[in-house]
Amino acid sequence: MNKIALYILIFLIVIYLLIMSQKIIDLRAVLPVHANQKRVFPKRKLAQIDTIIVHHTAGPTTQTVRQIAQYHIGSSSHVCQGGCPGILYHYMINRAGKIYWVNSLENVVYHATPMNTRGIGICLIGNFDKIEPNQVQLDALDYLIKKTRKDFSQPLRVIGHHDACGGCKTCPGANLYPILSKYNAQA
């Protein structure tokens, strides 16, 4: 192996280790919330959680977490008439594989009726009915699922939004959904 190839290999290993040891970026205090301070998410006990529910935005890969939060609190939100209290997931993963903590786990956010009280919502940015999730997103999802399972004393199964609503949606997309089955085989 020549020196250039060795340097490239070392560089790739360092990048991989950085991704796998990444910290979760906490945006809970800085994302926009509904202007009406009386609109708040209900609370739950963490012991009620038994499921991780994976979503996709079904939108462009260029969407930002802030844009998604702004849509959810806006009057055009498809979930809450007049806008929701805040962003409707607990975690978001962008195309660069960055993980954002966007809602407290104690919040019952409206991401997967009828399982909102029991589920942690993880949403990946992209439309995975049309494109494939990239490897850094999948690595970040894997890291977050494993970390979340480790943080809870109770077992957490992993499903897609499609499963939570009895097939009402294709979410998290035909190109991401099959990957989720590996997490329940490991449970």
- Domain CATH code at residue 127: 3.40.80.10
Give the per-residue pLDDT at 30: 97
Alpha carbons 24 and 63: distance in angstroms, whole number: 19
Task: Supply the range of the domain harboring residue 140.
Answer: 24-186
Is 18 a domain residue?
no
Alpha carbons 144 and 124: distance in angstroms, whole number: 12
Give the per-residue pLDDT at 15: 66
For each successive 10 residues of the chain (187 residues), what is the average pLDDT?
79 66 87 93 98 97 97 91 96 97 98 96 98 97 97 96 92 97 80
Is 166 a domain residue?
yes
Give the per-residue pLDDT at 46: 98
Is 8 a domain residue?
no
Is 2 a domain residue?
no
Is 9 a domain residue?
no
Give the per-residue pLDDT at 162: 94
Is 7 a domain residue?
no
Q: What angle do CA 83, 86, 87 make, to 5 degrees?
A: 105
Q: What angle do CA 79, 81, 83 make, to 5 degrees?
A: 75
Give the per-residue pLDDT at 186: 58
Sign of the alpha-carbon torsion through 81, 127, 92, 112: positive
Q: Answer left, alpha or beta for residue 119, where phi above 0 means left and psi between -120 and 50 means alpha.
A: beta
In the chain, the number of structural domains is 1
Is 19 a domain residue?
no
Is 121 a domain residue?
yes
Give the per-residue pLDDT at 17: 63
